Amino acid sequence: MIKKFKWPKIYKTEQIVESYAYDLVESNIIDYYEVIDITDLTQDQINEITKFKDDYNEYSVLYGAFFDIIERWHMEQES
């Protein structure tokens, strides 16, 4: 009998990958714009990042990280 493939707690692996992608994208943005935190970005800078995301591969593992960072920036601006 052939065993079916299983991956217990795969959601934990997905969380690790998403977190790592977020950290990489955040770090790259912070380094590029020479800011301390994402919330220090200007509207023009976030517009550039949004354009980059929109032109990027929507199926990339990094796409979601760009989306989350942009959303975080907008939420911080509202508060």
The per-residue pLDDT for 70 is 98
Confidence at residue 79, expressed as pLDDT on a 0 to 100 scale: 82
CA trace torsion 15, 21, 22, 28 (10° rounding): 170
Tell me the pTM: 0.88
Q: What is the pLDDT along the chain (79 residues), one digit of tens a residue?
A: 899 999 999 999 999 999 999 999 999 999 999 999 999 999 999 999 999 999 999 999 899 999 999 999 999 998 8
Coil/strand/helix, residue 37? coil
pLDDT value at residue 38? 96
